[in-house]
Amino acid sequence: MKTIHVFRPSLVILFLFTIFNQLEGAEEFTIPPLLAIVDLRTAGDDSSIAEAKAFSEFTRREIEQTGLYRVLSRSSMMAILKKHAFPLPCHELTCFVSMGKLLGADQVLAGHLQRNGDTYELTLRLISVKNASFIHSVYRTIENVSVDDLMGDRGLEIIAEVFQIDPQKFKEPDTAPTIKLDVPEKKEGIPDEVKNKYPGMIYIPAGKVIVGSDEGDPCEKPPHTVYVEAFYIGKYEVTNHEYELFIRSDERGVPPHWDGDVIPTGLKDHPVTWVSFADAEAYCNWLGARLPTEVEWERAAHGDEMRVFPWGDKFDSNNANTWEAGRGSTAPVGSYYLGASPFGVEDMAGNVMEWVSGFYEPYPGARALLEDYGKHLRVLRGGSWNFYSYYARTTHRFARPGGEKARSYGFRVVRDAAPGASY
């Protein structure tokens, strides 16, 4: 006789109820988010590039072993990006979000690492692909550390901060394999003790520079050659964080867009703005430095050869925070590292206009003597986020009263090098 099996819904319900009871109180299971880590950007010598790549790999390894993320391997990430001809490198939030969507990632980690002597400047930004926003950003200047320290406890502290996780989630540093630096053989050049004398500053060797242009405004004419002694110039514009240290010791008035005496959220590593010429000069004096002359600024901007922009003669909105970039505000310093000058000085085109020393006076041999010339106007250089690229040319001069402040006025510092330095 054939057996007939009867389906009884009550038995199924009883079975599911039993399973749910067994799971009750158990830890909820969720799939960890997929994280894509982009190699940290940098500028400088081969050692800096190697260290930036090594720290990126160090971060991949440490985050993956916490179990809180699934970390996309670098080889897989690059294979996908290459297959789809994804334009690299990225500079803007929108680019990183597009990258994350292509990779199927939930979050993207990007940033910048730069070494100056035994000081590291490190920026890490964790990005939500879904919300197209920054989840958390950390900017640190780490002094008196070795490469081993950076790839150890100090680095882990910063990684833990940007991911907002308990540092105890990491294994002891000596239980993990060492990240090796692939540093090419060092080339002869400026001695390290000279190049790295002032952390955060770029050494500009003595030499001749062509100042001015026949293609710009009358005040830029005529182009003429000037010899300039060696000097150091800030790699970046002075930031809100750096300026904050000054005003707290000097009791100087704070920029008007700050919340009382507090830097607006997210603007610590943006260039300080709403500063007059006197404010900029006072900061430099407090630091034991000074503002650059127009000649020094122009040499640092375009190097030994004439360039319309620090990177070349053709404008590229990916290289500078000008009106064409569409950002609509200042950017963290160093965000447009592809626009660095031949010496490696960044943001000399766009972001904020920069006060320089001296007055708005005619160049030697000028035929047009403008009414505005004299010792009543100062000069800003480099264009800004709210001006078109024409104003970001390396030779452009923008004359304004020294007491004027604006949302696009900032500055950077200069220090003298040893007299007669010839590197």
Both tokens of 343, joined, read 């010496």
Residue 322 has pLDDT above 70, yes or no: yes
More confident residue, 413 or 172: 413
Determine the pLDDT at residue 35: 93
Determine the pLDDT at residue 234: 96
Q: Rg (Cα) of the chain, in Å, rounded?
A: 27
Nearest to 380 by CA among 369, 393, 367: 393
What does the pLDDT average to over 76-82?
Answer: 85
Q: In whole angstroms, what is the distance from residue 271 CA to residue 409 CA?
A: 9
Residue 146 has pLDDT above 50, yes or no: yes
Determine the pLDDT at residue 421: 61
What does the pLDDT average to over 51-64?
Answer: 86
What does the pLDDT average to over 339-367?
Answer: 94
Residues 6+ apart with CB under 8 A from 391: 322, 353, 383, 384, 398
Compute, in degrees rounded to 10, the torsion defined by CA atoms 92, 268, 351, 375: 180
Residue spans of alpha helices (H) in 8-68: 9-23, 46-66
- SS3 per residue for 190-210: CCHHHHCCCCCEEEECCEEEE
Q: In whole angstroms, what is the distance from residue 319 CA to residue 219 CA?
A: 26
Residues pairing with 182 in the sheet? none
Q: What is the pTM of this model?
A: 0.60
DSSP calls for 218-242: GGG-S-EEEEE--EEEESSPPBHHH
pLDDT band at 42 (very low <50, low <70, confident <90, very high): confident
What does the pLDDT average to over 162-178?
Answer: 66
Mean pLDDT, the chain, rounded, equals 84
Q: In whole angstroms, what is the distance from residue 290 CA to residue 287 CA?
A: 8
3-state DSSP assignment of residue 172? coil
What does the pLDDT average to over 182-208?
Answer: 78
How many beta carbons lie within 10 A of that of residue 105, not counting itself? 24
Residue 152 has pLDDT above 90, yes or no: no
Residue 239 has pLDDT above 80, yes or no: yes
What does the pLDDT average to over 136-152?
Answer: 81
What does the pLDDT average to over 31-50?
Answer: 80
* CA quadruple 305, 308, 310, 315: dihedral sign: negative
Both tokens of 216, joined, read 């710009």
Determine the pLDDT at residue 286: 94
Query: Contact, 383 vs 258, CB < 8 A?
Result: no
Residue 27 has pLDDT above 80, yes or no: no
Q: Classify each residue of 198-210 as buried b or exposed e, where b means 16 or more C-beta atoms within 10 Å of its C-beta.
A: bbbbbbbbbeebb
What does the pLDDT average to over 384-406?
Answer: 96
Determine the pLDDT at residue 179: 53
Residue 162 has pLDDT above 60, yes or no: yes
Element (H, E) at 244: helix 240-250
Nearest to 269 by CA among 238, 234, 293, 290: 238
Residue 351 has pLDDT above 80, yes or no: yes
Determine the pLDDT at residue 171: 58
Element (H, E) at 278: helix 277-287
Percent of the chain past pLDDT 70, that is, above it, reads 86
pLDDT band at 114 (very low <50, low <70, confident <90, very high): confident
Residues pairing with 224 in the sheet? 211
What does the pLDDT average to over 216-242?
Answer: 94
Determine the pLDDT at residue 26: 44
Query: Contact, 119 vs 110, CB < 8 A?
Result: no
Question: Mutual orientation of helices 74-83 and 93-103 as an angle, nearest 10°?
Answer: 100
What does the pLDDT average to over 177-206?
Answer: 73
Query: Contact, 93 vs 127, CB < 8 A?
Result: yes
pLDDT band at 422 (very low <50, low <70, confident <90, very high): low
Question: Mutual orientation of helices 46-66 and 153-163 as an angle, nearest 10°?
Answer: 60
pLDDT band at 412 (very low <50, low <70, confident <90, very high): very high
